[in-house]
Amino acid sequence: MPDLSQIVKAYDVRGVVPDQWDEPLAELFGAAFARVTGAEAIVVGHDMRPSSPGLSRAFGRGAAALGADVTEIGLCSTDQLYFASGRLDLPGAMFTASHNPAQYNGIKMCRAGATPVGQDTGLAEIRALVEEWSGSGAPAPAGTPGTITQRDVLADYAACLRGLVDLTGIRPLKVVVDAGNGMGGHTVPTVLDGLPVELVPMYFELDGTFPNHEANPLAPENIVDLQARVRELGADIGLAFDGDADRCFVVDERGEPVSPSAVTALVAARELAKHGGGTVIHNCITSWSVPEVVRENGGTPVRTRVGHSFIKGEMARTGAIFGGEHSAHYYFRDFWNADTGMLAALHVLAALGGQPGTLSELVAQYDRYAASGEINSRVEDQAGRAAAVRAAYAGRPGTELDELDGLTVTTADWWFNLRASNTEPLLRLNVEARDRATADKIRDEVLAIVRA
């Protein structure tokens, strides 16, 4: 019986094709997904990686063999698959490895209404069935196999997003978009079509080998081209999407990155105005400015652990209208609590185009503190170094410690969070303070202990 622990992660399946998984295994995953969800029908989509069409078709065959009708939506972004799952009210599977190198692929799965499937919500059972069937052979097919049909939902997805944000009255904007050869090149032209936007496309050619740069806009080196183009053209804004186009990163008219916390605060203010208040979820490494802006706009902030399963869980529990993460994931109640960078981008365009000032002037009100950004330290003894940091700050006057996610230490003038990576021997540090000098001082203090 094969051991799938290397490819079945906390929230998805991910590994190298064909070394770690291939089409026969994808077919078993499709059968297991149909069995565990008990669904009469499912929807399947895929990104632009060379292995994606074959893997997604194999998954569909596996589900159909057990009697589930399969709707293939073909090339799509991850949030487009969530849209299809929500709108059609069907469980869904998206074939993507986001920004991982070309030889990787993966599956993000959800139940009907885009509810996430993770280890505690079906993924462990799916893995167990695939391991069992890999040894004993595929399960007996249903008496009547399911049908497999194709359906294009891109226009419906674009109409859904544009129905949630009114962009008709904005002033004309020059918008540079770097799709990183990922799925944004497929979705952005349709979503922005007919709006008062002059679209300047960069790397819109779908190419899962990522010839220009890694499709991970959180890494500074991957937005250099976008920053240069925005400055060169005197554009109003730059947008960068990751490989499966569910995350969106923003740069202002100067080519400077806009903090995802500032984007979270801006969108939160707009969603609170739209809904007349409500709950907004943010994780424990977003800026102090986020809960401040939420309260100033009549909302209730709720702090959660880092990671989409925690955000989505809290959104469902609290009925929150919006959630934001510092990793540039943005979640909307109006979008089945799923994350969609495209909808966040439309909110930023609407806010920018609805007033005469520049983007840097607009976001200044949401960007109030000095932050370190996330700093990774490679350490063998994660628990030991974290304990040393805890001991250094515990009991200091005016200092609060909490362990919602790793260790957060808070004072009146600064805070930091130190947490271990789930996948690598890393400790991740985020620091924020009322001024740059203090942020740098606390950063250096903590890193000295972590790296001792």
Dihedral of CA 158/160/165/167: which sign? Answer: positive
Question: What total number of domains does the chain contain?
Answer: 4
Peptide bond preceding 257 in cis form (omega within 30 of 0): no
Residue 298, domain CATH: 3.40.120.10
User: Does one domain contain both 115 and 227?
Assistant: no
Asked if 20 and 8 touch (Cβ cutoff 8 Å), the reply is no
- With cut-offs at 50, 70 and 90, classify the pLDDT of residue 310: confident
Task: Please give the full DSSP string across 367-428, using - where no structure is assigned.
Answer: --SEE---EEEE-S-HHHHHHHHHHHHTT-TT-EEE-SSSEEEE-SSEEEEEEE-SSSSEEE
**Among candidate residues 331, 364, 397, the one where a domain is terminated:** 364
**Residue 340 confidence (pLDDT) above 80:** yes
User: Does one domain contain both 164 and 146?
Assistant: no
Q: Residue 201's pLDDT is what?
A: 98
Domain with 331 in it: 260-364
User: How do strand 148-150 and strand 69-75 relate by DSSP bridges?
Assistant: parallel
User: Does one domain contain both 27 and 66?
Assistant: yes
Q: For the residues 213-225, what does the mean pLDDT come to?
A: 95
Q: For the residues 129-148, what does the mean pLDDT come to?
A: 96
Ranges assigned E (strand) in 226-378: 237-241, 248-251, 257-258, 278-283, 299-304, 322-324, 330-332, 370-371, 375-378
pLDDT in tens, 352-404: 999 999 999 999 999 999 999 999 999 999 999 999 999 999 999 999 999 99
The residue behind tokens 């503190």 is 369
**Among candidate residues 110, 131, 151, the one where a domain is terminated:** 151
User: Does one domain contain both 181 and 238?
Assistant: yes
User: Does one domain contain both 146 and 160?
Assistant: no
**Among candidate residues 253, 284, 301, the one where a domain is terminated:** 253
Residue 423, domain CATH: 3.30.310.50
User: Does one domain contain both 341 and 420?
Assistant: no
Q: Residue 237's pLDDT is what?
A: 99
**Residue 2 confidence (pLDDT) above 90:** no
Asked if 338 and 313 touch (Cβ cutoff 8 Å), the reply is no
- With cut-offs at 50, 70 and 90, classify the pLDDT of residue 309: confident
Percent of the chain surpassing pLDDT 90: 94
Q: Residue 307's pLDDT is what?
A: 84
**Residue 173 confidence (pLDDT) above 90:** yes
User: Does one domain contain both 146 and 161?
Assistant: no
Mean pLDDT score across all residues of the chain? 96
Query: In the structure encoding, which two tokens stand for residue 374, read together?
Result: 């996330």
Angstrom CA distances, 336 to 20, 55, 343, stand at 32, 26, 12
Residues 6 or more apart in contact with residue 231 via CB below 8 angstroms: 254, 255
pLDDT in tens, 429-446: 999 999 999 999 999 999
- Catalytic residue (one of 56, 77, 98, 327): 98
User: Does one domain contain both 10 and 130?
Assistant: yes
Q: Residue 423's pLDDT is what?
A: 73
User: Does one domain contain both 231 and 180?
Assistant: yes
Q: Which amino acid is at 312?
A: K
User: Does one domain contain both 445 and 409?
Assistant: yes
Q: For the residues 24-47, what does the mean pLDDT come to?
A: 98
- With cut-offs at 50, 70 and 90, classify the pLDDT of residue 11: confident
Q: Residue 240's pLDDT is what?
A: 98
pTM for the predicted model, two decimal places: 0.96
Q: Residue 394's pLDDT is what?
A: 96
Q: Residue 424's pLDDT is what?
A: 82
pLDDT in tens, 236-288: 999 999 999 999 999 999 999 999 999 999 999 999 999 999 999 999 999 99
287 part of the active site: no
User: Does one domain contain both 231 and 245?
Assistant: yes
User: Does one domain contain both 322 and 402?
Assistant: no
- For 109, the enclosing helix (H) or strand (E) is strand 104-111
